[in-house]
Amino acid sequence: MKKTTWLALSAFLYSIHLFAQQGLVGEYYDGSNFERKVMTRNDQKISFVWNMSAPAPGMDPSDFSVRWKGRIKTPESGNYLFRAHVDDGIRVKVGNQMVINAWGMHDSEPFSGTVYLEAGQMYDLQVEYFNGLLEGEIQLYWQLPSEAPRFGGLLGYNDKIIDSKYFYKPASQVPVTNGQVASNKPVVAPKPAQPKPATQKPTVQKPAKPVAAQPAEIPKDTLEKYIPKNILFTQGKSIMLPESEPELNRLAGYLVRNPAVQLTIEGHTDNHGDSAKNLVLSKERAKVVAEYLSGKGVAARRIRPEGYGDTRPLQTIASGNVKNRRVEFLLHY
């Protein structure tokens, strides 16, 4: 065989090897806390929307979790911004640093974190995700150091879904075939992360915000606690607006499918007006939500409405705050 032909063949085979090693190993579980593994597969990117559907047969579309493992290769040195858009919870660990930790119920919300990485290095990457209610969604983005926008992101960021060419299998694993990880010799272990130069310090700018109030203690039997975004009432009254119905319909469907789950509804107000009247109003609003869910097939004995008025604010400022006017849901057994 001619030398040029051999070199071309070698390059071709090497490119196939690299492609096969790219992507992440995704472990899919039934249950929101990795209870029962259903499948393992290779995912080229982390960009999924499960609209009331499960990633695979045998998984509850409203109660599942995924753990992605692999390595990520960095094209340049500097501060990387990682951003995840999720519904519900996520944890992202790069190397030995937890970059994003938002392990709770969220309604299609963004979370971000910054970490310094060296060019050309392989860093261990682990992404954990769960969906605990209704539809699920996750996208993982990053912003390269050279693409950091001016004005600290005031006019937006230049982050993109992380492309598969930056992802590699864990050092001890190789391509996934028919949902199973095949065995092979481990590839060379990644070089240890180099310490960040003392002259370069990551800066994370955070907008000033009101002082957070001391959160109320959550009962130990609580599965999840979350604040819905679209439960709306007429100002100063317990008349629920029609815009609230889609979200409550989804919650009712989840409760009907999971008859062992109990629900506590907490009504809250801001500190405007008389505290005694606020307490009554918060209780009435919680009862209205409970009655609506009962009308959708959820047994009344499974629902406990409570009202706390202005005694449990999310934020404390002199003039009150709109975020304190809310309904909270606690799911528990």
Contacts for 215-224: CB closer than 8 Å, 24+ residues apart: 216/312, 218/330, 219/330, 219/332, 221/332, 221/333, 222/330, 222/331, 222/332, 223/132, 223/261, 223/331, 223/332, 223/333, 224/88, 224/104, 224/105, 224/132, 224/133, 224/330, 224/331
- Phi-psi region at 8: left, alpha or beta (left = phi > 0; alpha = psi -120 to 50): alpha
Q: From CA 254, how far away is CA 200, in angstroms rounded?
A: 49
What is the band of 149 on the pLDDT scale with cuts at 50, 70, 90? confident
Burial of 191 (0-12, 13-18, 19+ CB in 10 A): exposed
For 258, residues 6+ apart whose C-beta sits below 8 A from its C-beta are 62, 63
Residue 202 has pLDDT above 70, yes or no: no
Half-sphere exposure of 295 (CA within 13 A, CB side): 9
Tell me the pLDDT tens digit for each residue of 269-321.
Answer: 888 888 999 999 999 999 999 999 999 999 999 999 999 998 988 777 655 56
Residue matched to tokens 């249950």 = 31
Q: What pLDDT, on a 0 to 100 scale, did the predictor assign at position 187?
A: 38
Q: What pLDDT, on a 0 to 100 scale, did the predictor assign at position 221?
A: 55
Q: From CA 140, how far away is CA 72, in angstroms rounded?
A: 13
Max mean pLDDT among 2-6, 135-139, 171-175, 323-327 falls in 135-139
**Segment 79-96 mean pLDDT:** 93
Distances (CA, A) of 256 to 252, 296, 297, 316, 328: 6, 9, 7, 37, 19
List the alpha helices (DSSP H) in 227-274.
Answer: 245-257
Positive or negative torsion for Cα 223, 227, 228, 234:
positive
Q: What pLDDT, on a 0 to 100 scale, did the predictor assign at position 15?
A: 42
Which residue ranges form the domains of the chain, and what is each CATH number?
A: 20-181 (3.90.182.10), 211-332 (3.30.1330.60)
Give the chain's largest Cα–Cα span. 92
Residue 138 has pLDDT above 80, yes or no: yes
List the alpha helices (DSSP H) in 206-305.
Answer: 245-257, 275-295
Q: What pLDDT, on a 0 to 100 scale, did the predictor assign at position 65?
A: 93
Positive or negative torsion for Cα 35, 38, 42, 44:
negative
What is the band of 185 on the pLDDT scale with cuts at 50, 70, 90? very low
Residue 150 has pLDDT above 80, yes or no: no
- 247 is written with which tokens? 């979200």
Q: What pLDDT, on a 0 to 100 scale, did the predictor assign at position 332?
A: 84
The letter for the amino acid at 321 is N
Q: What pLDDT, on a 0 to 100 scale, did the predictor assign at position 87?
A: 87
Tell me the pLDDT tens digit for each residue of 259-279.
Answer: 888 999 999 988 888 899 999
Q: From CA 137, how far away is CA 143, in angstroms rounded?
A: 20
Q: Determine the length of the chain.
A: 333
